[in-house]
Structure 1
């Protein structure tokens, strides 16, 4: 399992930057999947989550 303190620290740093372009995605099953390296099915699940996250940001994310 992972240390939830890491995610909390990353979230805190993202907030403290006050930069809306710095984001932190925590995967749904973060720390609860296969011990060690993810399996192919888990990689696919994570990829799907990442795609949804990026799409939800809208098209404006790609413009400076």
Structure 2
């Protein structure tokens, strides 16, 4: 009986170790994807701001110098 119980415990320890590794891997991959998305999104916002600045300059130039 004691031997059977210890086998069960070792089996649970193995599976919990594997599941924790898998969850850790998922956490890292999700974090990587989020950071990648954030970086590209920031670049797009930055480009959008620059485009908006140029557009405002063109509009003001057109209004001031018809």
Give yes or no for TM over 0.5.
no
TM-score (norm 2): 0.31
Q: Which has the higher contact order (CA 8 A, sep 6+)?
A: 1
Which protein has the bigger helix share? Answer: 2
The two structures have a TM-score, normalised by structure 1, of: 0.31
Q: Considering only CA atoms, is the larger Rg found in Structure 1 or Structure 2?
A: 2
